[in-house]
Amino acid sequence: MKPAKVYLVGAGPGHPELLTVKAVDLLSSGDVIVYDRLIQEEVLALAKPSAERIFMGKSVGRHDSRQDEIHELLARKAREGKTVVRLKGGDPFVFGRGGEEAEFLAAEGIPFEVIPGVSSALAAPLSAGIAVTHRDAASAVAIVTGHEARKDQNRLDWQALSRIDTLVFLMAVANVRRIAELLMAEGRSPETPAAIVQMAFWHDEHVVTATLGTIADEVERAGVKPPATLVVGEVVRLREKLKGSERDLRRRPDSRSRFEPSPGADQLLRLATGATGSQLLGFALDVALFDALEQACPLAALAPRVGLDAGALEEMLEALVALGLVESTPDGFRNLEIASRYLTSASEQSLKAALLEQVASSTSWQALADYGRRGPAGRVAGIPGGAPADGAGREALARFIAPAVVERLDLAARGPILHVGWGGGAYVDAIARRWPELAVTTCNPFHAPDPLAALQAHGRTGGFGCVVLSGLLASCARGEVDRLLAAAAAVSSDRGLLVLHDAFLPGSVLPPADLLLG
């Protein structure tokens, strides 16, 4: 097969409104999206529903080997005839290793094209009101890696750099002190203004300004963390004048979600369709098939591992391939990203328990289980059935949806918060990440024989600025809902906020994805 094309696409600083039109176009048509760490979820949400999204960010401390994996992945997907969009932060050719990827693809004879992006080298200073070549103060700007400062310096001419009007250092946080020392040693004045811009265009954008002589101490004191961009030069001084008023580009919450992306509505829909439309998914989860498919495994080895007839298993795997959960490779079957993340037992984001509960309450897969063990011909005893422990599924769903709910709230000035229901731990974490100062009390009365009494006991102190109820409708009998709501209102402060997070459908029906997130 003729390989499809690989697009190396700059995603800009992460904000969806800062993508190029071409990037949006490619995102919405690409079959496979391979993305890095610094990509916001709203950007990924632009991908077409059936696109496979593969996270290939570098984890801290793992640098080199991953790059080979990326190369191999891009080539493999293109050879399968899939259009690949390799999405990279900023501009692909500015310290993004896009050059190496292009070189590799060229060597492999795979067609590719590079689409520029808004580089943080220019966008981060801009976001802080720094015009890098302001006419009064600078006629040149150099974009420099901060990594070299640590090494024996031979790849950078610090004397030459020290004479350039504006210097922009990427990947600079760890080496700010060394960079400043090297520049001052070459005669740059310690009074030169300097600024560091953390997470430009993200929720936690933060700017620290100082001078070359003091910037390292200030960065340390402010606890600046990567990614951040350092700017040195007189242009920083003009910042006060240029800081605009409120801007249209919204700051997006970044939190940790960029490292642990949650599924898009379309992915949930695929999972939901799989769950309700097919007993197969329940059965596959029950026999831990996805756990066995974390690494590619040929059919002959897989069948005995999960205790199934090879012929029957092959049919099931083909159905899972059609559902877009598993892929068939020359080395055997293996999970697609979506299955690894949401259907295995070990993944922190696993929805396995939730889906098992849903499937168990609506269908029985016993017949399929029998067929799976027996194969088309033989006959073997059935498998022990059994639904997951009560509540585990609801807890798993709530845990995973809590951050999305919290993201939609503004609790800053609300005062103490009472969470009642499923997923308490996840709510506590998600709230603490955004508003560390808020006190959160959590209780799950649905474990208790009398939920109402449990809530009333918890809320005795009253005066909660916000009461969050999760899983109320699915867990209560009809009349209890009214009483629980009234009890929640009673423990709220005047004008307190009441948040209901619920699926609004009986537990035996898996709600559509947008409702799940709504």
The set of catalytic residues is: 36, 58, 171
Q: How far apart are CA 442 and CA 468, in angstroms?
A: 9
* Residues 234 and 193: beta-carbon distance below 8 Å: yes
* Residues 138 and 166: beta-carbon distance below 8 Å: yes
| The two structure tokens encoding residue 360 | 């168990």
| CA-closest candidate to residue 361, choices 394, 383, 323 | 394
DSSP 8-state code for residue 446: G
**Nearest approach, Cβ of residue 116 and ligand SAH (Å):** 9
* Residues 225 and 173: beta-carbon distance below 8 Å: yes
Q: Closer CB to ligand SAH, residue 226 or residue 425?
A: 226
Q: Closer CB to ligand SAH, residue 98 or residue 451?
A: 98
| The two structure tokens encoding residue 365 | 């897969």
DSSP 8-state code for residue 252: B
Q: Closer CB to ligand SAH, residue 254 or residue 357?
A: 254
Q: Closer CB to ligand SAH, residue 207 or residue 472?
A: 207
Instruction: Report, in this order, helix, strand and coil percent for the chain, each rounded to 5.
Output: 45, 15, 40
Q: Closer CB to ligand SAH, residue 120 or residue 340?
A: 120
| The two structure tokens encoding residue 373 | 């063990």
HEC profile of 397-442 = HHHHHHHHHHHCCCCCCCCCEEEEECCHHHHHHHHHHHCCCCCEEE
**Nearest approach, Cβ of residue 95 and ligand SAH (Å):** 4
Please identify which residue in the block is written with the tokens 């999305």.
404
Q: Closer CB to ligand SAH, residue 127 or residue 276?
A: 127
Nearest residue to ligand SAH, using CB?
90
CA distances from 454 to 423, 450, 480, 484 (A): 16, 6, 13, 10
Number of residues assigned to the chain = 518
| CA-closest candidate to residue 23, choices 88, 107, 108 | 88
Q: Closer CB to ligand SAH, residue 13 or residue 393?
A: 13
**Nearest approach, Cβ of residue 98 and ligand SAH (Å):** 7
* Residues 159 and 216: beta-carbon distance below 8 Å: no
Q: How many CA atoms lie within 13 A of 274 on its CB side?
A: 30
Give residue 305's identity as a one-letter amino acid code.
Answer: R
**SS3 at position 499:** strand
Which positions ≥6 away from 438 have C-beta within 8 Å? 411, 414, 415, 416, 417, 431, 432
Judged by the rule CB under 6 A, the positions of this chain that interact with ligand SAH are: 13-14, 38, 89-91, 94-96, 119-121, 124, 170-172, 197, 199-202, 226-229
**Nearest approach, Cβ of residue 47 and ligand SAH (Å):** 20
**Nearest approach, Cβ of residue 68 and ligand SAH (Å):** 19
**Nearest approach, Cβ of residue 6 and ligand SAH (Å):** 17
**Nearest approach, Cβ of residue 198 and ligand SAH (Å):** 6
